[in-house]
């Protein structure tokens, strides 16, 4: 007998029939003698609907109250799924994040798991129950309900697997990890395996199938992660430790993110003090910065651009007003019709020329870019959103990422 953690996303539990299907799938695993912990997200578009209701009341609602509101979505899912198990004749219990011992820290709506007191989960497993845990949520040191941000249910599942020292299976509406989002590119190739490092990079750059922190936890604690469809019995993708064969392909995947807000601050007087003040203010407001660029000094002034999430638009407006009072003469603009396109591959660590090739591809296809950033295994470009589909198509073809080509 072994223990397994399974996670089911919102689309997998979007209706009562789907919840019953998940219950049947889990029961098949239980029949094999395994102890099962099931982590679920809110049903379908529940979280989006809750956010919309909050926005009807306030354009900038209290983040504490947003956590209180959004946490209710998962509680609906876990109670209904536990009822389904019981109706099928299997003992089950639903646990909120707090009841499952998930302790968090950080700011509301973006908390991180600090620790898990696993004893309550273990107790119910030892008593033969299927344990259903609310993903995406926990409780902080003040006793407040908190949420972990988008994709937080993945993090919940992998963190529980780390505490239980077992495999984590992520079931979703896709068949596994693709080298390109198949909704953007129909000839995308499903990967049988991918390294933790590549998956972390792809997740952080916009691949929505996994959450970055979840993969990071899997890597840190060497927890095998398997991603597969909750609707079809097809082989999924294993996220695993790097091995030498992975260097045979230079580019593993291409990611696209539309959740990009580009902010430009013009007429900043030269000197580290003003630049420091800008980014200190952003840090104080817990704004995560992605790409940063700065022009060369001209007549004693520079322009600074950075990208962040569209979710932080209201916060950026607050910071802009503060900075205009502190740094006289600056002008601040925002552009939201920006898309970030990234190529990822661990093979880039030992092979050069990828950036030059992408620059050439963009030039040949008249695709303008705004900013470029690199890491050891990725290169990212921001482009106008109108060029997104063209960029994906030409990059997939020229970098041999299509399913028509072997990787």
* Residue spans per domain, the chain: 3-173
Average pLDDT, consecutive stretches of 10 residues, N- to C-terminus, the chain (407 residues)? 93 95 96 96 94 94 96 97 98 98 95 96 98 97 94 95 96 91 91 93 87 93 94 90 68 93 94 92 92 92 94 93 93 94 90 89 94 91 95 94 61
Residues in contact with 13: Cβ distance below 8 Å, sequence separation at least 6, in sequence order? 19, 22, 40, 41, 43, 44, 77, 80, 81
pLDDT single digits (tens) 264-291 = 999 999 888 999 999 999 999 989 999 9
Q: Are strands 130-134 and 112-116 parallel, antiparallel or unpaired?
A: unpaired
> What is the Cα 218 distance to its own chain's centre?
14
pLDDT of amino acid 246: 53
What one-character DSSP code corresponds to residue 298?
B
CA 341 to chain centre: 16
Q: Considering only CA atoms, which of 139, 18, 150 is closest in space to residue 77?
A: 18
Q: What is the pTM of this model?
A: 0.83
CATH 1.10.260.40 fits 3-173, yes or no: no
CA-CA distance, 171 to 18, in Å (whole number)? Answer: 13
**How far are the Cα atoms of 8, 178, 209, 307 from residue 214, in angstroms, in the given order?**
14, 18, 11, 23
Position 405 scores a pLDDT of 46
| pLDDT tens, position by position, 197-237 | 999 999 988 887 888 999 999 999 999 999 999 888 889 99
Strands, sheet with 167-172, edge to edge from the N-terminal-most edge strand: 92-95, 130-134, 35-40, 3-8, 167-172, 225-229, 237-240, 193-195
Would you state the pLDDT for residue 407? 39
Nearest-CA neighbor of 387 among 355, 354, 365, 371?
Answer: 365
Question: What pLDDT does 151 receive?
Answer: 83
Distance CA 371, CA 382 (A): 5
């Amino acid at each position: 007998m072994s223990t397994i953690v399974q996670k089911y996303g919102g689309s997998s539990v979007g209706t009562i029939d789907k919840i019953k299907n998940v219950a049947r799938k889990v029961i098949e695993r239980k029949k094999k003698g395994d102890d099962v912990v099931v982590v679920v997200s809110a049903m379908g578009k529940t979280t989006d609907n809750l956010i919309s209701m909050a926005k009807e009341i306030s354009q900038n609602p209290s983040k504490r109250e947003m956590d209180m509101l959004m946490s209710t979505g998962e509680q609906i899912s876990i109670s209904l799924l536990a009822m389904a198990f019981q109706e099928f004749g299997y003992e089950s219990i639903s646990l909120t994040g707090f009841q499952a011992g998930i302790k968090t820290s950080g700011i509301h709506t973006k908390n991180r798991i600090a620790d898990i007191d696993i004893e309550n989960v273990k107790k119910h497993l030892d008593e033969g129950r299927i344990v259903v845990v609310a993903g995406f949520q926990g409780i902080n040191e003040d006793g407040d309900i908190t949420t972990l941000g988008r994709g937080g249910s993945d993090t919940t599942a992998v963190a529980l697997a780390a505490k239980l020292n077992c495999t984590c299976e992520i079931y979703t509406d896709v068949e596994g990890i693709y080298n390109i989002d198949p909704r953007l590119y129909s000839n995308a190739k499903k990967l049988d395996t991918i390294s933790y490092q590549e998956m972390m990079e792809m997740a952080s750059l916009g691949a929505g199938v996994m959450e970055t922190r979840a993969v990071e936890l899997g890597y840190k604690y060497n927890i095998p992660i398997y991603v597969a469809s909750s609707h079809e019995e097809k082989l999924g993708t294993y996220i695993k430790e790097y091995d030498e064969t992975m260097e045979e392909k230079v580019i593993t995947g291409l990611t696209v993110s539309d959740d990009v807000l580009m902010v430009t601050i013009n007429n900043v007087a030269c000197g580290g003090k003003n630049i420091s003040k800008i980014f200190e203010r952003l840090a104080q407001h817990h704004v995560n910065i992605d790409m940063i660029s700065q022009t060369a000094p001209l007549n004693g002034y520079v322009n600074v651009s950075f990208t962040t999430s569209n979710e932080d638009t209201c916060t950026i407006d607050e910071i802009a007003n503060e900075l205009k009072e502190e740094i006289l003469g600056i002008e601040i603009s925002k552009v939201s019709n920006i898309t970030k396109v990234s190529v990822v591959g661990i093979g880039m660590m030992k092979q050069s020329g990828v950036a030059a090739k992408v620059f050439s591809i963009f030039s040949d296809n008249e695709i303008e870019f705004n900013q470029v950033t690199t890491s050891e295994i990725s290169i990212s470009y921001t482009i106008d959103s109108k060029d997104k589909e063209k960029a994906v198509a030409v990059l997939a073809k020229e970098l041999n990422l299509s399913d028509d080509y072997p990787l």
